[in-house]
Amino acid sequence: MARLLRAPFQLRRLVTPFPSLLYRCRYSTQVGPESFVPGHNTTTTTTGTPEIDPPSRNQTPESSKTAGEWTSFRMEETALRVTTTGSKFSVIRYPVLRDACKCPRCVDVHSKQRNFRTSDIDPFIRARELKWDGESLQVTWDNDIPDLGRDHVSTFTLDQLQTPSEHHRRVDGFSNRGRQLWGKERMQAQQHWITFEEYMQDGKPFARAMRELARVGLLFVKDIPDSREMVEKIGQRMGPIRNTFYGSSWDVRKVPEAKNVAYTSQFLGFHMDLMYMNEPPGFQLLHCLRNSCEGGESLFADTFKVANDMFTSSRTEYETLAETWLNYEYLHKDHAYSNSWPVFETQKLRHGKRPIVHVNYSPPFQAPLGYLKRKSPGEIKAKLAALKSFAHRLEEEKNIFELKLKPGECVIFENRRIVHARRQFNTAEGERWLAGTYVDEDAVISRWRTLRAQDPTTWKTGDLGSSELEDPNKQ
């Protein structure tokens, strides 16, 4: 039987993770482990000693998890108060709570699209009644959206109130996805390989491979059929292929009068692809079809690790690169692209935290530093010194993982985290031919989310979600 919640209602629960509605509003509840905390003050978090009666056994819903922290709900004038053990409480403002309703009247059951606008919500909306039915909290409203009727009921499960929303843009575990930093030694010992057959099938091997790609930004596929079309098939397992002026896929091999240094046999230093575009691709794939010539080894380095090293040992240089923008361009007869990015692209959070979102670094495609002409000599010197330090650290042997791809092998890497390079090769004897393609970051993150929803256990293995980064990326 539903229980009318006019007084505080308490239930027992195993743990109290982050409320999604608070998370949705980019504010931490400060209950549970640290997490990625974007800072908007739509909801309020505080600690104190609210006047709440001790919980009794007959108030514990049978479906709730046993043992752990107590949680209670209280209707206030402008908000719902959620209280947990230790007298910590969070306040969800009624307009925010109402906006989160996903009942069939508010969200179409088939299209999953909203039937109302946020602007339709009365800013003075308030809860009229709360009811707990053993599994969910039901809320009826005063001043609700008129078209929905006075009998409209919003229903929220405890998980919806207390765990990150699966639909909250990027803070649901994949921008803060427990990245594991690595250097040469770690990658040599822990590189992740998956067979083409396993990769092309839904199952735990593929889910584990995607989990590792999320953590370390680098993944290898082997035993691939000898076919030029395979690279797109591999990419499509993660999401739609990103089509660029290079095409849906492209060949990396020596050509005369190349318009890209990648199409020569000379050494190609560390870089990221397509920095001159508004949205550089999130992930790149390179499938080796031929590699019988001398040289041509592939090199990789984790820029997040190097950034973290700079944060801990040279904070000033780290902060300088977070404020240093580099220009990029690709200017040819048929194509003209240009853009600018900070070397360390950070997200400014409350309490001064600035976790890295992307690293943007591609010296072969840099344009002139025109904007620096307005800077003082001291500022220019500091920026160049920080860039030099970053480049030097990237090229330290301890940070470089090197291997020579064999025919039938493919590397997948996160384009705005992992820099890649190639040693010079000699085609006088032998051949080197790689096929490449791109997949956008949004598509891959979408794939990760669906895989995690299907198999949460696999994604929890290896502590995915607990960051190993130091302060600039601790959540």
Q: Would the pLDDT of 27 be above 70?
A: no
Q: Which of 19, 154, 24, 156 is closest to 84 using CA atoms?
A: 19
Assess contact for 216 and 279: CB atoms under 8 A.
no
Mean pLDDT, residues 186-210 taken together:
96
Residue 185 and residue 118 share a domain: no
Q: Are 118 and 99 a contacting pair, CB within 8 Å?
A: yes
CA atoms within 13 A on the CB side of 312: 10
Query: Residue 258's pLDDT is what?
Result: 63
Show which of 130, 145, 162 is a domain's final residue.
Answer: 162
Q: Which pLDDT band holds residue 56 (cuts at 50, 70, 90)? A: very low
Q: Do 230 and 200 fall into the same domain?
A: yes
Sheet containing 9-13: give its strands across. Answer: 9-13, 69-75, 79-84, 88-93, 44-47
Decide which of 287 and 15 is more confident. Answer: 287
Name the more confident of 39 and 120.
120
pLDDT at position 48, please?
34
Q: What is the mean pLDDT of the chain?
A: 80
**The pLDDT value given to residue 246:** 94
DSSP string, 2-69: -EE-SS-EEEEES-----HHHHHTT-----SS-------TTSEEEE-----PPP-GGGS-TTSPSSSE
State the greatest distance between any 2 C-alpha atoms of the chain, in Å, as a whole number. 84
Instruction: For residues 98-126, give the mean pLDDT.
Output: 94
- Three-class DSSP category at 335: coil
Q: Is residue 43 part of a domain?
A: no
Residue 254: per-residue pLDDT? 76
- Report the pLDDT value the prediction gives residue 286, as an integer from 0 to 100: 99
Point out the domain boundary residue: 145, 162, 179. Answer: 162
* Average pLDDT of span 437-446: 97
Is 17 within a domain?
Answer: no
In a shared domain, residues 99 and 184: no
CATH number of residue 113's parent domain: 3.30.2020.30
Question: Each residue of 368-414: pLDDT tens digit?
Answer: 987 777 888 999 999 999 999 999 999 999 999 999 999 999 999 99
Pair 231, 96 in one domain: no
Is-contact 436 250, C-beta < 8 A?
yes
| pLDDT bucket at 416, cuts 50 / 70 / 90 | very high
Tell me if 43 sits within 8 A of 95, measured CB to CB. no
Looking at the chain, the whole-number percentage of residues with pLDDT higher than 70 is 74
CA distance 347 to 388: 24
211 domain-assigned? yes
Q: Is 192 found in the same domain as 131?
A: no
CA-based radius of gyration for the chain:
26
Least confident of 81-85, 259-263, 280-284, 442-446: 259-263
Cβ contact 228:435 at 8 Å: yes
What local confidence, expressed as pLDDT, does residue 351 receive? 60
Q: Which residue, 97, 132, 162, sits at the end of a domain?
A: 162
User: Would you state the pLDDT for residue 66?
Assistant: 32
Query: Per residue in 222-236, is it b (16+ CB within 10 Å) or e — as a string?
Result: bebeeeeebbbbbbe
Asked if residue 63 is part of any domain, the answer here is no
Count of CB atoms situated within 10 Å of the CB of 442: 14
Looking at residue 212, its pLDDT comes to 96
How many CB atoms sit inside 10 A of residue 355's CB?
Answer: 20
Region 303-331: what's the mean pLDDT? 96
Residue 219 and residue 154 share a domain: no
For residue 121, give its domain range: 72-162
Model pLDDT, residue 54:
30
pLDDT of residue 38: 26
Indicate if 427 and 365 belong to the same structural domain. yes
Q: Is 226 helix (H, G, I), strand (E, B) or coil?
A: coil
**What pLDDT sits at residue 359?**
98
Domain identity same for 115 and 237: no
Burial 260-280 (b: 16+ CB within 10 A, else e): bebbbbeebbbbbbbbbbeeb
224 within domain boundaries:
yes
Q: Residue 392 belongs to what H/E stretch? A: helix 377-394
H helices present in 314-376, as ranges: 315-322
| Residues 189 and 142 both lie in one domain | no
One domain for residues 143 and 243: no
| CATH code assigned at 420 | 3.60.130.10
Rounded to a whole number, what is the distance in angstroms from the first to the last CA of the chain?
A: 41
Q: Is the pLDDT of residue 41 over 50?
A: no
What are the pLDDT digits (tens) for 266-278?
Answer: 889 999 999 999 9
Dist. CA 289–CA 406, nearest whole Å: 8
Q: Amino acid letter at 59?
A: Q
Predicted confidence (pLDDT) at residue 313 exceeds the cutoff of 90 = yes
Is residue 213 scored above 90 in pLDDT?
Answer: yes
Q: Are residues 146 and 181 in the same domain?
A: no
The answer as to whether 238 is a domain residue is yes
User: Is residue 190, in this structure, part of any structural domain at all?
Assistant: yes
Q: How far apart are CA 343 and CA 416, in angstroms?
A: 10
What gap in Å lies between CA 61 and CA 73, rounded to an integer? 14
- Rounded to 5 degrees, what angle do the CA atoms 26, 28, 34 make? 120
Q: What pLDDT is stored for residue 88 in this prediction?
A: 64
The number of distinct structural domains making up the chain is 2
475: Cβ–Cβ under 8 A, 6 or more apart, which residues? 34, 35, 36, 37, 176, 355, 467
pLDDT of residue 352: 64
To 10 degrees, what angle do helices 315-322 and 377-394 make?
Answer: 110
Q: Identify the pLDDT of residue 84.
A: 63
Structure tokens that stand for 57 in this block: 């056994």
Is the predicted pLDDT of residue 328 greater than 90, yes or no? Answer: yes
pLDDT number for residue 282: 98
Mean pLDDT for the stretch of residues 433-437:
97
pLDDT at position 401 is: 98
| pLDDT surpassing 50 at residue 307 | yes
Tell me whether residue 456 is in a domain.
yes
Residue 107 and residue 177 in one domain: no
